Copies of this chain bind each other. A is one copy, B any other.
């Protein structure tokens, strides 16, 4: 059953979101998943691989979405808003995963190849490729797209962090619902009064 792998992933999300990756023990994860410790190791080679898998699942969602985005006829800012909306919607739907995404990203440099790093580097790269196209078409002004894409990704992370660690569920949803629009507006037209 690959269902069991999913079962363990969800338990791990729950435990890691609550106490953090480092404090999360395999015992706790196993207990939360309702399996024996050994069972975890039938599906993952190590505790670290569980975390990587969590990131991988999210990465795949973004990759798939981004791929479809390529075929859409939105302009670049439209595509960007779409990507952000998708991301914030995912986080709204799965706030615990969101907590992990922003809190454990620092573990990106454990091994050589690594799903965490692919996430935290790959997503900005995707944004950068969008911006590069838009500069080409003249839709946006010339700028350092590497810096801007990373800045944008960092802004998104910060907003997610603010949302998923806010005490009240209501505030969380309000932030996430409005965030994509707010961010795109900010980046698109700036903050100055007109």
Contacts and interface: CB of A to CB of B under 8 A. Distances in A.
Given A103-B106, A152-B155, A155-B155, A189 B190 contact: yes
Interface string A109-149: 10000000000000010000000000000111101101110
Interface in A150-193: 150-159, 161-162, 175, 178-179, 182-183, 185-193
Q: How many copies does the complex hold?
A: 4
Nearest to A103: B106
Nearest to A20: B106
Given A103-B106, A182-B147, A191 B154 contact: no
Given A106-B104, A147-B182, A161-B154, A140 B192 contact: yes
A72 to B, nearest CB: 20
Interface residues of A, number: 44
A48 to B, nearest CB: 12
B158 A151 contact: yes
B143 A150 contact: no
Determine which residue in A148, A178, A179 has the highest number of CB atoms from chain B within 10 A of its CB, and name it: A148
Interface of A: 20, 22, 77, 103-104, 106, 109, 124, 138-141, 143-144, 146-148, 150-159, 161-162, 175, 178-179, 182-183, 185-194
